[in-house]
Amino acid sequence: RRLGVDLNHALIQHYRDGSDFIGEHSDKTLDVVPGSLIVNFTVGATRHLRLRKKGESADAAQRVPLSHNSAFLFDLESNAKWVHEIRPDQRPDTTKCADELREGGARIS
């Protein structure tokens, strides 16, 4: 209700720590109702969603922090034009902020 659209599909991914990742992709949309949204809701440690417009170089990618209790929304048109990923985070814990270490580095989205 808060989004103003009905959601008809859910996928849950558990990232145990910084070594877990998902490669660059666009979401499959067979089950997504036209006019609805794709929502990435995050619980746990902050990780960065890396976005790149299809056909552009890796240097053109943008990074969006997915912090605890946040949501990233995109529509089917954006999904068709962009790819996204969560890259591994191999930095030492001593270089990470508190939000990146929340829940031992685990997160669910």
- Using one digit for the tens of pLDDT, what is the confidence trace for 5-14? 777 777 788 8
pLDDT of residue 1: 65
> What pLDDT shows up at residue 91?
80
The structural domains of the chain, with segments of one domain joined by +, span 14-90+100-108
Q: Could you read off the pLDDT of 54-71 as tens digits, one per residue?
A: 999 999 999 999 998 888
Among candidates 3, 14, 11, 17, which has minimal Cα distance to 74? 3
What pTM was estimated for this model as a whole? 0.81
Q: What is the pLDDT of residue 65?
A: 92
Report pLDDT for 57. 96
Per-residue pLDDT tens over the stretch 67-106: 988 889 999 999 999 999 999 888 878 888 888 788 877 7
Does domain 14-90+100-108 sit in CATH 3.30.413.10? no
Burial class (CB in 10 A: 0-12, 13-18, 19+), 56: exposed
Q: Please state the rounded mean pLDDT for residues 9-25.
A: 86
